[in-house]
A and B are shown apart, each in its own frame.
Chain A
Amino acid sequence: MDTQKFATADLHLIDTDRINDSPGPYGMSFGFELKPLVRSIKTVGLLNVPVLIEDGEGAKTVISGYRRIQAVKSLKWDNMPCRVLQKSEFSPLECLLLNLHENLATRNLNNVEKGMVLSHLNSYLPLNEIMKDYMPLLDLPSNEEKFDLFLKIEKELDENIKIYLARGHISLQGVRMLLDMDPASRLSVFGLISNLKFNINQQIQLINYLIDISHITKASVIELLKDQPLENIRLNDNLNTPQKAKAVLRLLRTRRFPSLTEAEKTFNKMVSKLDLPERVRIDPPLFFESPDYRLEILFKEGKELREKIGRLFKMDGIEEIGNPWERGA
C-alpha cells in the first residue's frame, strides 16, 4: 500500500449533502454515541478530517471519519474539509485497510464492528490471510469457528441485539446461543431478556433452560415463553424487574431439574423442621454431589458456642439430616 499517497491526498471543502449518508463498503462504526463528538467539534472544530473517495462521476463515499461526518451533519454545517482520493488510484482493499488502521489506532472496536470488519475483509482476502493477520489484529483467536460467528453477527443478527452486544449487555456466548435459534424464537427470547433486564449470567441460564426444555418437551421456545406460569410472573405487579427475572429462572430451573429441585425442597423442609439456634445453618453439598453436609455456627465467644453445640446435641430430628431422596420429608 502506498502510504504516502494517502497523506498527500488533496484537501477539499465538500458540501455535506454531497457525502453519501450510508457507512458504505468500508464502514466499521456501530452503536456509537454521537453527542461527545458533536460537543468536541462544536467547541474546538474538526481536528482530524475525514477521508472520502470519489468515483469518476462525483459521488463521494466515506472511507474514514463516518462518525465525524454524522456529527458535522447534525451541527448543520453546509460543508466540511475532507481529504479526497480518486477511485482510480486506490483499490477497495486499500481503502478498507486505511479505515481499519485508523480506527484501531484510536479506539477499541466493539464486537459488532469486528463482525463488520471481518465481513468486509472476507470480500477481498483469502481466509488463511484473515486468520493469520487480521484475527489477531482484532484481538480474536485465529479460529474459523470464531470467524463464522462474527460473520453471522454481521449478517444475521437483528439490529436490537446488535445494539445490546455493542454496549456489552449480552455476551458473545449469549449471542452465539441466540444465533443457533430460528429467527422468531431468537426475537422472542431477546424480548424477554431486554424486558426483564437479565444480566449476562442470567441470560445464558435462561437460554440454556429454554433450549433444553424445548428439546425435552418438544414444545417450541415460543410456546414455552407463552406458558401461563411464566406469563403470570411477567404480569405480576408485586415484583420488580430483577425479582421477575429471578422468578422466571426459578420456574424454568424447576422444569429443567425436577428431581434436583424436589430434593432441595425436601432438604429445606427437613432443616426448617429443626429448631436451629440463631446464626446456625446446615447446608447440603453443591447439587448433593459430595457426601458431606456442612454445619455453620457463628458465635461471638466460647460460651455462646458451647450453648449452641449443647442445643444441637440435644436437638430432636437432627439425625434425620441427610440425602433427601433416602429419607423423605
Chain B
Amino acid sequence: MKDLKIKKVIVEKGVSGQEFAQQILRRLPDIPVQTIKENESKAVHDIQNMGKEILHLLPYKGEFLKPCPGTREYICCGYQILNVATNCPLDCSYCILQSYFNQPYLKTFVNLEQGVEQVLKIIDSNPDLVFRIGTGEFTDSLAIDPITRWSDWLLPLFSKRKNAVLELKTKTDNIRGLLTSKFRDRIIVSWSLNSPFIAVREEHRAASLKKRLEAARQCQSEGFVVGFHFDPLIPHPKWKEEYTKTLELLDKYIDPKGIIWISLGSLRFMPGLKPIIRRRHPDTCVLDGEFIMGLDGKMRYFKPIRMELYSYMRKNLEKWHPDPGLYLCMESHDVWQKSMGWSPETSNGLKRYLDRRVVEIFG
C-alpha cells in the first residue's frame, strides 16, 4: 500500500481514556490531536478527499456484528460483518463508501473490546452454527492495521473459537501485524484482486498486484489460510488478456491447495453513486459498462456480460485447480447455473457450501 498518512486525530470526549484509543494515540506521537464532544464532528464538504487523512476515534453505538446486507433477489453468502471501522484510506474509484462522503474521516471504533465481547458471546452460545466473520466490508481490513493493530486484538480471540472464522480482506501488503502474531488457526487472510489494468487505473493507493500476491505468498508460507476475491470484475478493453495476467501472477505466487475460497463478483452500485464517481474520478472507466437496474435496485451489468465474466474466470481458475472454492457474490440462481455449472439454489445453500469449506480446511 502507498504510504498511509494520518495528519490529524479527532478524539471524541470520553474515549481517550480507553485502552484501545490510548494505544492508537501512542502509535501516532507527532500527530495533532483534537478532542471534540460527541456528535460534534462536522460534516465536511470535501467530496474529493473525504477526510481520508484524519483518524476519528469514537465509540460505536450499534450492533458490532451484522449480517452482510444481502437481498432476497440474489443469492447471498451469509457472511457476517464485524464493524471495526468505516471509511478507508485507499481510494478505489468504484468504492461504495464514497456515498458517505458527508460522513468523512477514518472512523475507528475504540469500544471494540466491549463490542467483540458481545460478539464472542453470540458465537459461543451457538456452537452448532458456523460464523464466517469479516472486517472488510466498510473498510479495508488491514489498511490501518499498522496504527490500530486490530490483528493483535482479534487473532487470539477468534483463533480459539471452533465454530467461527475471521476473514481479513485487503488490497494492501500490511501483513507485519499478522506475521508477528502467533495465532493462525481459524484466521483467513484474503486479497481482492483485479486485472492489472483496473488495479493501476482504479484502485488508487492500493498495493500493486504483485505486492498483494507477495504478501499472500508470505502469509500462506507462514501458515495462514488465504482466500481471494475477484470483486468487482469489470469488463474493459482486452479484459480477458488482462485478467489472465492476474491469474498467471496468482499461479506464480500461490499454491492453490488450501485456498479456502475465491469469490467472483461483478461491479454493482446504488444509482446515486454514479454522479459521485463521475465527480471524484473523472477519468474512470468503471462506469463505461452496460449497466442495468438489477432486481435489488442496484446497477449491475447486463446478464450475459456478467455470465461471460464469470465463465471465463471459472474456466481458467478451474484449470489452475479443480476445486478452488469458487462462489459468486450476489448472483441469481440462473446465472450460477449457467456460468458455474451448478447452483446452491438459495442463500442457505451457499451458506452450507461455504461452511463446508471452513470445516474442510480448519476442521
Give min CB distance, B43 to chain A, whole Å.
8
Which residue of chain A has the shortest Cβ distance to B305 in the bound complex? Answer: A259
| B285 proximity list for chain A (CB < 8 A) | 215
Indicate whether A124 reaches chain B with its CB closer than 8 angstroms.
Answer: no
* B295 close to A216 (CB less than 8 A): no
* A257 close to B290 (CB less than 8 A): yes
Q: Known contacts A144-B45, A259-B290, A289-B294; is A211 also within 8 Å of B278 by CB?
A: yes
> Once the chains are docked, how many angstroms separate the CA of A143 from the CA of B44?
10
| B321 proximity list for chain A (CB < 8 A) | none
> Once the chains are docked, how many angstroms separate the CA of A212 from the CA of B291?
11
| A259 proximity list for chain B (CB < 8 A) | 290, 302, 304-305
* B288 close to A212 (CB less than 8 A): yes
Q: In chain B, residues 24-53, which have Cβ atoms closer than 8 Å to a Cβ of chain A?
A: 43, 45, 47
Q: Known contacts A180-B279, A257-B302; is A287 also within 8 Å of B292 by CB?
A: yes
Give min CB distance, A202 to chain B, whole Å.
17
Q: Contacting A215 at CB < 8 Å: which of B45, B288, B302? A: B288
* B279 close to A288 (CB less than 8 A): no
* A323 close to B304 (CB less than 8 A): yes
Indicate whether A145 reaches chain B with its CB closer than 8 angstroms.
Answer: yes
Main secondary structure of the interface of A (DSSP, over half): helix
Indicate whether B124 reaches chain A with its CB closer than 8 angstroms.
Answer: no
* A216 close to B288 (CB less than 8 A): yes
* B333 close to A325 (CB less than 8 A): no
Indicate whether B287 reaches chain A with its CB closer than 8 angstroms.
Answer: yes
* B303 close to A288 (CB less than 8 A): yes
* A325 close to B304 (CB less than 8 A): yes
* A291 close to B45 (CB less than 8 A): no
Give min CB distance, A215 to chain B, whole Å.
6
* A260 close to B302 (CB less than 8 A): yes
Q: Contacting B302 at CB < 8 Å: which of A180, A211, A288, A291? A: A288
> Once the chains are docked, how many angstroms separate the CA of A260 from the CA of B304?
9
| B287 proximity list for chain A (CB < 8 A) | 212, 215
Q: In chain B, residues 194-252, which have Cβ atoms closer than 8 Å to a Cβ of chain A?
A: none
Which residue of chain A has the shortest Cβ distance to B337 in the bound complex? Answer: A291
Which residue of chain B has the shortest Cβ distance to A215 in the bound complex? Answer: B288
* A143 close to B295 (CB less than 8 A): no
Q: Contacting A291 at CB < 8 Å: which of B288, B292, B333? A: B333
* A289 close to B305 (CB less than 8 A): no
Give min CB distance, B304 to chain A, whole Å.
4
Indicate whether A159 reaches chain B with its CB closer than 8 angstroms.
Answer: no
| A215 proximity list for chain B (CB < 8 A) | 285, 287-288
* A289 close to B279 (CB less than 8 A): no
In the complex, number of A-B residue pairs with CB atoms less than 8 Å apart: 54
Which residue of chain A has the shortest Cβ distance to B101 in the bound complex? Answer: A145
> Once the chains are docked, how many angstroms separate the CA of A325 from the CA of B303?
10
| B293 proximity list for chain A (CB < 8 A) | 286-287, 289
* B332 close to A291 (CB less than 8 A): yes
| A290 proximity list for chain B (CB < 8 A) | 295
Indicate whether B63 reaches chain A with its CB closer than 8 angstroms.
Answer: no
Q: Contacting A258 at CB < 8 Å: which of B290, B294, B295, B332? A: B290
Q: In chain B, residues 253-309, which have Cβ atoms closer than 8 Å to a Cβ of chain A?
A: 275, 278-279, 285, 287-288, 290, 292-295, 302-305
Indicate whether A231 reaches chain B with its CB closer than 8 angstroms.
Answer: no
| A216 proximity list for chain B (CB < 8 A) | 288
Q: Contacting B292 at CB < 8 Å: which of A144, A258, A289, A325? A: A289
| A112 proximity list for chain B (CB < 8 A) | none
Indicate whether A263 reaches chain B with its CB closer than 8 angstroms.
Answer: yes
| B292 proximity list for chain A (CB < 8 A) | 257, 260, 287, 289
Indicate whether B117 reaches chain A with its CB closer than 8 angstroms.
Answer: no
Give min CB distance, B326 to chain A, whole Å.
21
Indicate whether A148 reaches chain B with its CB closer than 8 angstroms.
Answer: yes
| A257 proximity list for chain B (CB < 8 A) | 290, 292, 302
Give min CB distance, A207 to chain B, whole Å.
11
> Once the chains are docked, how many angstroms separate the CA of A300 from the CA of B147?
73
| B305 proximity list for chain A (CB < 8 A) | 259
| B332 proximity list for chain A (CB < 8 A) | 291
| B279 proximity list for chain A (CB < 8 A) | 180
Task: Identify which of A177, A256, A287, A323 gathers the most chain B CB atoms within 10 Å of its CB.
Answer: A287
Q: Contacting B295 at CB < 8 Å: which of A144, A289, A325? A: A289
> Once the chains are docked, how many angstroms separate the CA of A148 from the CA of B302?
35
| B278 proximity list for chain A (CB < 8 A) | 180, 211
Which residue of chain B has the shortest Cβ distance to A261 in the bound complex? Answer: B290
Indicate whether B334 reaches chain A with its CB closer than 8 angstroms.
Answer: yes
List B residues at the A interface (Cβ < 8 Å). 43, 45, 47, 102, 275, 278-279, 285, 287-288, 290, 292-295, 302-305, 332-334
Can you give 15 A-B contacts (C-beta < 8 A)? A144-B43, A145-B47, A145-B102, A180-B278, A211-B278, A215-B288, A216-B288, A256-B290, A260-B290, A260-B292, A260-B302, A288-B303, A289-B293, A289-B295, A291-B333
> What are the nearest 4 A-B pairs in CB distance?
A144-B45, A287-B292, A325-B304, A291-B334
Beyond A260-B302, A288-B302, A289-B294, 17 extra complex contacts between A and B, CB < 8 Å: A143-B43, A145-B45, A145-B47, A145-B102, A148-B45, A212-B288, A215-B285, A215-B288, A257-B302, A259-B304, A259-B305, A263-B302, A287-B293, A288-B304, A289-B293, A289-B295, A323-B303
List A residues at the B interface (Cβ < 8 Å). 143-145, 148, 176-177, 180, 211-212, 215-216, 256-260, 263, 286-291, 323, 325
